[in-house]
Amino acid sequence: MDKYFVIGHPVKHSLSPEIHKMFAAQFDIEMSYETRDFEPGGFIEGMAVLRREDSPKGANVTHPFKMDAYQYCDEVTPRARKCEAVNTLIFDGNRVLGDTTDGKGFVNDVTQRCGASLTGARVLILGAGGAGRGLAAALQEEGCARIYIANRTPERAHSAGAALGCASGSFVDLISEKFDIIVNATSAAFSGAAPAVPNCVFSECSLAVDLTYAALPTPFMQLAKESGAVRVEDGLGMLVAQAAESFALWTGRMPDTKPVYEKLRAAFDASVAL
């Protein structure tokens, strides 16, 4: 049986094992998919142990290791090279191939499930890490009018902006900016907070998306709604969509995301009702 993993810290909460189990069932594929928690700074050592003891066929990489994974790979796809981040690993003998499906998953979810148009949109990405970079790279292919990367530390935002050819700045710099779509790709939710952005940035926002997913609205979703965003979404849809892209890379088969998303959302809604 082929073995797959999702690597991150923390990662115990991940829905990826359940998602890939449902994908595999659509095609009667036997596979295992488990979580692996690596300590920060321990990606290389963790990968050595994982490959030695489990001989994985593939792996997903989540916060905070996407840029570590990029450096780890022997070969990466053009889209991964562009954003210098990897969330999907493919093991081919002694070689490791890396790709990023975050951006493609986000685009698919926003345009198909949410029905939003990216053509001509002004998009703000909060966070300059691997997820934010992956989104920016993919959005550049969608005809957006403007893509702006903002980060708590402006130096990191400018570094990402320069690498990707996007406008960039700190959260404070957003005081006079307006956007149609705002995406929270920061790790603020892990500490139960929203990124410290000015409320006025949401005044013309038609869609605000938090890449974190939860049964209840996240602090960012609450901030966006209270500040004028027309529609707010968590990251469950993107999670399922990017997972489908990874699954297709590993197996050559594209699963149906709709029933998987609906089942997970129903489970979230039921947990809130209890």
How many angstroms separate the CA atoms of 60 and 250, rounded? Answer: 11
Phi/psi region, residue 57 (left: phi>0; alpha: psi -120 to 50; beta: rest), is alpha
* DSSP symbol at 8: E
Contact 36, 62 (CB under 8 A): no
CB 110 within 8 A of CB 236: no
- Is residue 258 flagged as an active site residue? no
Rounded Cα distance, 173 and 182, in Å: 15
**Residues 68, 13: contact at Cβ < 8 Å?**
no
Catalytic-role residue among 21, 57, 66, 225: 66
Q: How far apart are CA 75 and CA 191, in angstroms?
A: 34
- Cα separation values, 51 from 32, 59, 61, 189, 266, Å: 15, 11, 14, 31, 36
The closest alpha carbon to 187, from 210, 208, 154, 159, belongs to 210
Catalytically active residues are 66
